Amino acid sequence: MPVIMVANPKGGVGKSTLATNLAGYYARQGYPVMLGDTDRQQSARTWLGLRDPALPRIQSWELDGSGSVRTPKGVSHVVLDTPAGLAGERLKELLKVTDRVIVPLQPSIFDILATREFLDELAERKAVRAGHASIGVVGMRVDARTRAADQLQRFVEGLGLPVLGYLRDTQNYVQLAAHGLTVWDVAASRVEKDIAQWQSLLDWMGPG
């Protein structure tokens, strides 16, 4: 069961955009997928509450009587959205069950510097050093043809990590999220440019 964690301790970098749309992709492919929010606020559950039941199903954590959470039976893919400030023991525990870590990063020098420490911490974790968890970076709200994108590319490659692609700055994601939707839930002609930008990330994820 692939477990994909979307993580960056900095807030407002696009974690939920990546996590919800990745879960939406797997659901559209017919996989029983769970979108889990490791934050106590459970904002992913709120987003799922906006989602039309007629759409491909995305499941959430199951809660037992004690308030503990668990993955529903039958789930084949897990996507984890994580809170700002993720570090230390909490990060260590999540990495034990994670196969791939996707780090969203905006191409400003301030975001790059703020994320550097987190990427260094990831590199030192046992699961990453042993090859159990792979790391990739996605440039968020960026035009791949700009100087800022080049700066991001050089920074990430200098760390020995792959840049999995760039998602442009568009209101499509904002408007779709407000209705519990992803780019995979609407007519392809409406989000053609956005879907094309996902291909390199999906190739990195591999089949299924």
User: Residue 118's domain is classified under what CATH number?
Assistant: 3.40.50.300
> Of residues 70 and 106, which shows the higher confidence score?
106
The confidence score (pLDDT) of residue 41 equals 67
Give the integer Cα–Cα distance in Å for 177 and 181.
5
Please give the model's pTM, rounded to 2 decimal places: 0.91
Q: Among the listed ranges 66-70, 113-117, 162-166, which one has the minimum average pLDDT value?
A: 66-70
Whether the pLDDT of residue 182 is over 90: the answer is yes
Number of compact structural domains in the chain: 1
- For residue 195, the enclosing domain spans 3-205
Residue 13 near residue 173, CB atoms below 8 Å: no
Cβ density class 12-41: b for 16+ within 10 Å, e for less: ebbbbbbbbbbbbbbbbeebbbbbbbbbee
pLDDT digits (tens, 9 = 90+) for 60-104: 887 655 555 678 899 999 999 998 888 888 888 888 889 999 999
Q: Output 117 or 56, whichever has higher pLDDT.
A: 56
Could you give phi then psi for residue 123, rounded to 5 degrees? Answer: -60, -25
Among 25-29, 63-67, 143-147, 181-185, the least confident range: 63-67
